[in-house]
Amino acid sequence: MPALLLSWTCAGASFDYTLTMSLDQLKREVASLSSQEQAELISYALELRHAGDPEYRREVTDRLNDSDRSHWLPPEEFERRLDNA
């Protein structure tokens, strides 16, 4: 089960609290997020997924630094591909 550890200090004393959520609970919480918050969460999840993959990082860096406009997608094509993914 996914767990969330909350830590805080009050009047010089430290407190830790672990909140455990089932995957279904986590999914419901994510569904209640705004579109912007969901986008941030997706970005974070992808970052975690690829954090230990140097080849993926190199490929993304190369694509971001690619100045050849023939390799770029117009916004409409990007949206179309995103919708079909």
What is the pTM (predicted TM-score) of this model? 0.50
Length of the chain: 85
Q: Which amino acid belongs to residue 79?
A: E
The pLDDT value recorded for residue 2 is 61
Low-confidence ranges of the chain (pLDDT < 50): none
Q: DSSP letters of the chain?
A: --EEEEEEEETTEEEEEEEE--HHHHHHHHHTS-HHHHHHHHHHHHHHHHTT-HHHHHHHHHHHT---GGGPPPHHHHHHHHHH-
The pLDDT value recorded for residue 3 is 64
The pLDDT value recorded for residue 76 is 93
